[in-house]
Structure 1
């Protein structure tokens, strides 16, 4: 099996050790994963993947490009493409991926993740936030995003949830004028830090959060509610 999605790489590697023969250069978890690296999510080495003769390639309709998946299909390789827009959808798709690994039962981390999200920690007052994912140009989370759904379950409403685009470009001056209670800055795909991001939003609390907890669907979901809620509380104290 080859995974072209970092969060799914972690899910498979933890649940079915030895099932993976290849993963992208961005697949950083679990630590020490010993598989053939096949390039990036947007530019995988199709020839290298084909040479591995995997029985299945796992992909995501958003992270991976259709021309690459088409080339793999034309080479006779089966592709499992998942689509995730919210937390329930993530759990359903994770179950599909785990099933494709040939496991008879569910991994413990998946049960734990579903349990902790039944009653996630929330503030007493809901907060209105923007969630930049890039700068120069500034891009934010828009409609129908997995990360936006996670934040909503933690009491944070995405100010751009009704935008026509899923990842709209928004000028910095518009963000500063949006009457936000909070700005949520993940460390991926753009690596926001305290020296690169919060200075653009004077007077607005900024929560620096781990992108793995905000955007990955896999074993990290079991720790995500506490990790994200802690970062949000620290920002608005």
Structure 2
């Protein structure tokens, strides 16, 4: 039967329910669909959809997040394509909706991530599995480390330096742990930051993500030169993905981030 829903950006989408051939163009959503026991229904993904390892490789890569292979998508004949507003472009949505039902999710906060999981369950007739996943994540999140009042910058790019700003899942997760991110006052969700602006931010810690730019130990020295009293910490960017990685993230933070009475955050 056909079902019509309103997606997370207000678009009306009609598709065959439950969908039997799904293309997901967002890594966190692909990961979520696998967690909802939809392994047989997922027929296409992006090349950046790398989780769950060992399973996702069996699904054809039919796109990037900013580019698509229309012929490859047509070949897998999806009855529903799921995209995410930030990960994918408006142009991709406009092209794909000419041919297939396209549902647009939007995740800008931890609460949005829980809503996305619930909505994926509703879309795919996996409501119970979605509720169970959300309950398990909620339980894990009660054990998130606390860094109450500590000032942090989360750096995602180099040349120019770019940081996480307002209205992002990553910032929401940082706030959930008690961090203060001064860069939410800047324009844009991922603002460019100069060395002078880093210094003015009076950060306690600067988190250097492993992706999209692969920060390494050698880059820590750059930030120590800019901010000698700020501790640079290399962080696994995948632990700031929404979806099932949220379960893994809590144990990762507990293991790799320790707080004590000193100024610094100390990785094990």
Query: TM-score, normalised on structure 1?
Result: 0.91
CA distance in structure 2 between the aligned counterparts of 1:162 and 1:130, rounded to whole angstroms: 12
| 1:64-213 alignment runs, 5 A limit | 64-75=88-99, 77-107=100-130, 108-118=132-142, 120-123=144-147, 125-201=148-224, 202-213=228-239
The one-character-per-residue Cα deviations of 1:78-106 (angstroms, maximum 9, x if unpaired) are 11111111111110111111222222412
5+ residue gaps, structure 2, are 1-21
Of 194, 214, 221, the match for 2:246 = 221
Structure 1 segments of 4 or more deviating over 6 A? none
The one-character-per-residue Cα deviations of 1:120-176 (angstroms, maximum 9, x if unpaired) are 3213x4210111110101111111111011011112111211222111111123213
Deviates further, 221-230 or 25-34: 221-230
Q: Which residue of 1 aligns with 2:48?
A: 26
Contact 2:143 2:250 in 1 (8 A): no
Query: TM-score, normalised on structure 2?
Result: 0.81
Higher strand share: 2
Contact 2:118 2:127 in 1 (8 A): no
Q: 1:230 to 1:163 in 2, by over 3 A?
A: farther
CA distance in structure 2 between the aligned counterparts of 1:52 and 1:197, rounded to whole angstroms: 44
5+ residue gaps, structure 1, are none
CA distance in structure 2 between the aligned counterparts of 1:14 and 1:106, rounded to whole angstroms: 8
CA distance in structure 1 between the aligned counterparts of 2:172 and 2:127, rounded to whole angstroms: 30
RMSD: 1.8
CA distance in structure 1 between the aligned counterparts of 2:163 and 2:254, rounded to whole angstroms: 20
Say which one has the larger Rg. Answer: 2
Q: Which residue of 1 aligns with 2:7?
A: none
The one-character-per-residue Cα deviations of 1:29-84 (angstroms, maximum 9, x if unpaired) are 11122011112100121221122110111101111011111111111x11111111
The secondary structure found in structure 2 opposite 1:80 is strand
The secondary structure found in structure 2 opposite 1:152 is helix
Deviates further, 104-113 or 59-68: 104-113
The secondary structure found in structure 2 opposite 1:28 is coil
Contact 2:223 2:232 in 1 (8 A): no
1:3 lines up with 2:24 in the alignment: yes
